[in-house]
Structures are given as C-alpha cells and as structure tokens.
C-alpha cells in the first residue's frame, strides 16, 4: 500500500521554500493511549474522531485521534516491547514524538529541507484507501522529536488511511479550544542558536521574538528563548535553553526528566479564556497558582482590560500588554508524573507577544512547584 511518490512539483514561491498551511496534528507516544485519550477527552474536552489498532488491522500499535476546533492530537502506544514507540516511552515518558505540518506537497517539503541539511526520518510515502490518498514525509528536529509533512489534499476521510472513523464521542466535554498558538521546545545548554539556525536555514523560518536571561530570570534561575516563525506566521516555535542561575532552572529539570530535548509546552488558543479555564478546572486540569500581589499590581501594569481582575485572580490567569493590545494566558502543571510537557491556554486581544511581563511571576510559580518536587 505504501509507495513513494516520484513527481516533483515546481517551486511556486521563491521567498518561502517551505509554505506551511498550519499544524496538521501533534502525535504523542504514550504508555497507555486508551487511558490518555480518556484524560484528553474528559478533562481537555477533545473528541475522539478516529482510531487505528488491532481491530483495524494494526498489529503493533494503537492510535487515538482527538480533535477540538483545529487542535488535533494523535495518541499512539506500542502493543509490544520491541518497538520504537515503546523505546521512546521508556526513555522519555509520555511526550511529543511528531509535530505534523500541513503542506500542499509533502515530497517537495521533504526535498527542500533535506537538501538544506535536514536528516530524513521517513522518505515521502503515499498511503491510500477508498477515501483517497495522503502523502507524508518526516525529518528530525531536536532530541527524538520529528516534523512530519502531511499532504491531505486528495483525501476525504476523517484522518488517515487505515483509521476507523468515530462519529460520536459521549465522553468529550469541549471547552472552546480553537487552534495551536505555538509549541515550545527545550534544548540543552548553549544549543538554542544551533536550533534557531536549523529553523532558519533548513525550514525557512525567521526570528520573531527574542528573550535573554535578563528578561527571563528569577532569584534562582534563568533561561533564554528565541521564537521562530514560518513565512505566513501560522507556525511558531519558541526554543528555550537553560541559562546560569543560583539553582536548577525549570529547563534543566525538564531535560533531566525527559532525558534530553523535547517539547516543553503547547499553547492552545481560545476566544473566551474565562469560560475555557473555568471548564478545564471543573474537569480536573491543575493550573499553576499565582500570588495575590500579582493582581494588586495588575491594573497599573496593563491598564484597562475587559475582564474583571477578581475573576482573573480566582482562576489564576495572567495578563500582558504590548503596543498592539493585550493577551491573557495561564499554564497547567505538567500533565505527566515526570515534570515534562505542560499546556498554556492563551487568548490574544491584539497582542502578538508571549507574555514577557509575566515571565517572572510565572517562573516563580514554577519554582515553587520544582521545590515541592525536590528539584530546585
């Protein structure tokens, strides 16, 4: 069924050699996809829309496709120990394996990136069933994380050939999540610029914002971050590296427990953060808590905002403003027992920032949690 495509399409846009239509999906390798899927459905409100496993002829793994708005997650687990999926889970715990990017031509995306030095993980391969065909190809990025290019222009099925469609999910309790705003990678000491160069040279991204250890430091720890964005700005990847501080930084804690670089957090956009976060809290999602002093200073720092400050404080939502407007954001605790991947819920009201004014309050909140875990 799988056969490589051979046709090359001409480059249509000389300024963007890797045109991306957005994030297609994020694939996680997990220890028990059935139970992880229940968490994402009941707590995050995602709907199970497709499934692949032994019942559909898949012998060595099972995958659950979950969707809410344009956010699509695939939870994949190994059915046997001798598998790359099982090895990934043993080393990293549950985590992101693939950030899949939606393209018009997966073959061309693979060619353009590999000729610029990307390491190929999967050559362009076409899969088909009665609903049409999908072409995918993959390249390596930081750690064991990969980027998959996926072209589904000739496919009318729910997700991918071989998946069974689930038409109704009685467990899903949607909370208003719309799309992925950004996905952040943690890389090792002094490795940020190497990965910034990778996104610039191999994938045609450019530097969107930059934060140094003076922007992002507390009494104890520091980090540096550069945000890379693709040509149309639909895909944004901040890259963090640890910086020297008096204690262990949250990035070092992540690198210790993930056993290397990987995805640190996924920011999910909503148009009503008060409603979304209220629902998530009701459904069992744990967020970082922010001290009262943050809210007494809030109005003088960000000026007039639409949301009542006491509501923001009750929920623990942070606010930041720049020249273009403001944004509201909140961060979950890690969603695994290892202090690795967590989520951000974000609502933008004009601002395109990443919450620089909140970094100190946020990192102090994370450090309180690190101290509880004995990792500060």
Instruction: Tell me whether residue 320 or residue 367 sits nearer to Fe ion (CB atom).
Output: 320
Cβ proximity of 122 and 137 under 8 Å: yes
Minimum distance from residue 331 beta carbon to Fe ion (Å): 8
Contact letters for Fe ion, residues 256-275 (x by CB under 5 A): -----------x--------
- Closest CB to Fe ion among 146 and 345? 345
Work out how close the CB of 154 gets to Fe ion at its nearest, in angstroms, rounded to a whole number. Answer: 34
Nearer Cβ to Fe ion (96/172): 96
CB contact at 8 A, 141 and 117: no
Residue 33 binds to Fe ion (criterion: CB under 5 A) = no
| The residue to which tokens 């480059």 are assigned | 11
x/- letters, 208..247, toward Fe ion (CB under 5 A): ----------------------------------------
Q: Residue 344 Cβ, how far from Fe ion at the closest point, in Å?
A: 4
Which residues lie closer than 8 Å to 72 by C-beta, 6 or more apart?
A: 24, 25, 26, 65, 66, 159
- Closer Cβ to Fe ion, 137 or 235, answer by number: 235
CB of 274 or CB of 362, closer to Fe ion: 362
> In this structure, what token pair is assigned to residue 311?
């509501």
**DSSP annotation of 175:** -
Angle (CA) 238 277 323, round 5°: 50
Task: Figure out which of the listed residues 27, 344, 367, 369 binds Fe ion, where binding follows CB under 5 A.
Answer: 344
Helix axes 250-258, 359-373, angle to 10 degrees: 50
Closer to Fe ion by CB, 218 or 329: give it.
329
CB closer to Fe ion out of 267 and 268: 267
338, two tokens:
């290892």
**Chain centroid to CA 106: how far?**
21
The three-state secondary structure class of 131 is: coil
* Whole-angstrom distance, CA of residue 342 vs CA of residue 356: 18
Query: What is the Cα–Cα distance from 189 to 286, expressed in whole angstroms?
Result: 29
Least separation in angstroms between residue 324's CB and Fe ion is 17
* Cβ atoms of 106 and 150 closer than 8 Å: yes
* Distance (Å, whole) CA 101 – CA 27: 11
Q: Are strands 262-269 and 342-349 parallel, antiparallel or unpaired?
A: parallel
Smallest separation (angstroms) from Fe ion to the CB of 239: 12
CB 362 within 8 A of CB 331: yes
Nearer to Fe ion, 41 or 236 (CB): 236
Minimal distance, residue 116 CB to Fe ion, in Å: 27
CB of 275 to Fe ion, least distance (A): 20
Question: For residues 36 and 94, what is the distance between their CA atoms, to the nearest angstrom?
Answer: 9
CB of 250 to Fe ion, least distance (A): 13
> Given the rule CB under 5 A, which of 19-27, 50-58, 239-247, 344-352 is the region that contacts Fe ion?
344-352
CB of 366 to Fe ion, least distance (A): 12
Residue 282: left if φ>0, alpha if ψ -120 to 50, beta else—which one? Answer: alpha
136 vs 269, beta carbon nearer Fe ion:
269
Helical residues (DSSP H) of 115-223, grouped into ranges: 192-197
Residues in 168-197 at the binding interface with Fe ion, rule: CB under 5 A: none
Our CB check for Fe ion shows the closer of 258 and 342 to be 342
Closest approach of Cβ 367 to Fe ion, in Å? 17
SS3 62: strand
Size of the site for Fe ion (CB under 5 A): 2
Residues found near Fe ion in the complex (CB under 5 A): 267, 344
């Amino acid at each position: 069924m799988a056969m490589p495509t051979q046709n090359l399409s001409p480059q249509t846009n000389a300024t963007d050699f890797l045109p991306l239509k957005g994030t297609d999906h994020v694939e996680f390798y997990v220890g028990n996809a059935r139970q992880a899927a229940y968490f994402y459905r009941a707590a995050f409100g995602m709907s199970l829309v497709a499934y692949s496993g032994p019942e559909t002829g898949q012998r060595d793994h099972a995958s659950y496709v979950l969707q809410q708005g344009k956010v699509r997650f695939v939870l994949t687990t190994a059915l046997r120990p001798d598998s790359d999926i099982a090895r990934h889970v043993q080393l990293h715990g549950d985590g992101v394996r693939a950030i899949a990017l939606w393209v018009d031509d997966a073959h061309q995306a693979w060619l353009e990136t590999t000729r610029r030095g990307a390491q190929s993980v999967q050559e362009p391969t076409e899969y088909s069933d009665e609903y049409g065909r999908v072409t995918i190809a993959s390249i390596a990025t930081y750690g064991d994380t990969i980027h998959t290019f996926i072209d589904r222009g000739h496919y009318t099925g729910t997700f991918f050939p071989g998946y069974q469609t689930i038409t109704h999910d009685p467990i899903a309790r949607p909370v208003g999540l719309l799309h992925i705003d950004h996905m952040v990678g943690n890389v090792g000491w002094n490795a940020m610029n190497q990965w910034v160069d990778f996104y610039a040279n191999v994938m045609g991204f450019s530097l969107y914002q930059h934060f140094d250890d003076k922007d992002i430091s507390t009494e104890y720890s520091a980090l540096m971050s550069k945000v890379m964005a693709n040509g149309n700005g639909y895909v944004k990847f901040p890259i963090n590296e640890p910086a020297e501080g008096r204690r262990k930084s949250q990035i070092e804690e992540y690198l210790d427990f993930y056993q290397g670089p990987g995805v640190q957090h996924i920011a999910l956009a909503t148009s009503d953060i008060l409603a979304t976060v209220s629902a998530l809290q009701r459904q069992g999602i744990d967020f970082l808590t922010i001290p009262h002093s943050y809210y007494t200073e809030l109005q003088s720092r960000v000026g007039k905002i639409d949301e009542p400050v006491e509501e923001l404080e009750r929920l623990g939502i942070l606010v930041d403003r720049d020249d273009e407007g403001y944004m509201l954001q909140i961060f979950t605790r890690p969603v695994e027992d290892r202090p690795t991947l967590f989520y951000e819920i974000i609502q933008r009201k004009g601002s395109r920032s990443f919450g620089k004014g909140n970094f100190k309050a946020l990192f102090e909140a994370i450090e309180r949690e690190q101290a509880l875990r004995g990792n500060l």
